[in-house]
């Protein structure tokens, strides 16, 4: 409710629609009454449809990245910069859907126990410096800041243990040649193998 008031004051517009999952905090009677009083339409995900949650993770991450990317609607700035007044940090960005080895936490780890669990990187946790991972074994989202990313390796959903080589995927190559242009400068032109620039 506080976030709603702050956001509305900042953009001078009213919140009209709110889409959430069916978490208890969003189904509480007090919250429902507040939304009804303010004329906010409620959209909830369907029950027992975890696939909607995975789509939600992808959409949330896409929005997070787009808000920190240049856009034509605000020339020379990102939406994040317009909203907060500072340039957004992007050094922590990772490849969506890549394999990540998330550090195992617990006081009862034995000497030879695994120190990490392979998971799928699915996004960024709001309000803290942490990442969101999907654990295919538990089918739950895991939040952590301690992970080693294999950004060149995507998750193999067909493998029993979750991670496997992507031998059947042919890599895509773009080759560059350097050419001299008038004035002594250099420019790079992309070419496909076997073609003449």
Q: Residue 21: which of 51, 46, 54, 57 has the closest Cα?
A: 46
CA–CA–CA angle 52, 100, 104 (5° rounding): 100
- Which helix (H) or strand (E) segment is 44 a member of? strand 41-44
pTM score: 0.54
The Cα 114–Cα 116 span in angstroms is: 6
What is the domain partition of the chain in residue ranges?
A: 2-84, 92-191
pLDDT at residue 168 in the model: 47
Q: What is the mean pLDDT of each run of 10 residues along the chain (197 residues)?
A: 82 82 77 87 69 70 90 84 88 93 75 79 89 89 92 79 46 52 48 47
Distance between alpha carbon 113 and the CA centroid of its chain, in Å?
30
Partnered with residue 18 across adjacent β-strands are: 42
């Amino acid at each position: 409710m506080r976030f709603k008031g702050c956001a509305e004051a900042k953009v001078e517009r009213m919140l009209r629609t709110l889409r959430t999952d069916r978490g208890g905090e969003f189904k509480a009677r007090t919250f429902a009454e507040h939304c009804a009083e303010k004329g906010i339409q409620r959209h909830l995900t369907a029950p027992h449809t975890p696939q909607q949650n995975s789509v939600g993770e992808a959409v949330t991450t896409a929005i997070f990245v787009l808000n920190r990317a240049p856009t034509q609607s605000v020339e020379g700035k990102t939406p994040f910069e317009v909203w907060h007044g500072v340039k957004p940090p992007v050094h922590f960005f990772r490849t969506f859907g890549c394999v990540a080895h998330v550090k195992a936490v617990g006081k009862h780890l034995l000497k030879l126990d695994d120190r990490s669990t392979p998971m799928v990187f699915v996004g960024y946790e709001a309000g803290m410096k942490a990442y969101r991972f999907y654990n295919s074994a538990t089918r739950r989202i895991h939040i952590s800041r301690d992970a080693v990313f294999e950004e060149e390796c995507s998750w193999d959903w067909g493998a029993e243990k979750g991670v496997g080589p992507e031998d059947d995927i042919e890599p895509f190559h773009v080759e560059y040649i350097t050419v001299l242009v008038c004035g002594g400068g250099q420019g790079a032109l992309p070419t496909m193998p076997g073609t003449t620039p």
